[in-house]
């Protein structure tokens, strides 16, 4: 009987708070595990053009990106990698490596990031 009283009090406490105020505290039940962080995300790319375009979002978390060409690190830099729609595109000159295979690695990506999903 005591637990019913506790549940009734908890329900009343939640019901008295306006929806906008409790939105951040809502508990969500889901079938899938929440997205985590993907470490050392890698994308293999055949270098057919002269430039590799990278999406940038001003104010996004800074990530460490490395460009590996034929197993050797060619470039390493920090970038505010866009999670969704970019503000602008940065380019990497890969004209000297045309026809080779490159691996583009990012130290960490959120699991919901569009760059983390296969093309």
Question: Once rounded to an integer, what is the mean pLDDT over residues 67-92?
Answer: 90
Structural domains in the chain, sorted by start:
35-116 (2.60.120)
pLDDT beyond 70 at 98: yes
Query: Which region holds residue 32: left if phi is over 0, alpha if psi is between -120 and 50, else beta?
Result: beta
Cβ neighbours of residue 106 under 8 Å, at least 6 residues apart? Answer: 40, 41, 63, 64, 65, 81, 115
pLDDT tens digits, 34-53: 667 778 888 898 999 899 89
């Amino acid at each position: 009987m005591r637990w019913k009283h506790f549940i009734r009090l908890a329900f009343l406490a939640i019901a008295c708070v306006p929806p906008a105020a409790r939105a951040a505290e809502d508990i969500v039940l889901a079938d899938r595990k929440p997205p985590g962080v993907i470490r050392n995300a890698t994308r293999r790319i055949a270098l057919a053009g002269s430039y590799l375009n990278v999406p940038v979002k001003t104010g996004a978390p800074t990530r460490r990106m490395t460009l590996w060409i034929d197993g050797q690190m060619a470039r390493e830099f920090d970038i505010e990698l866009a999670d969704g729609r970019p503000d602008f595109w940065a380019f990497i000159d890969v004209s000297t490596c045309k026809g080779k295979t490159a691996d583009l690695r990012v130290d960490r990506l959120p699991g919901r990031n569009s760059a983390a999903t296969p093309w």
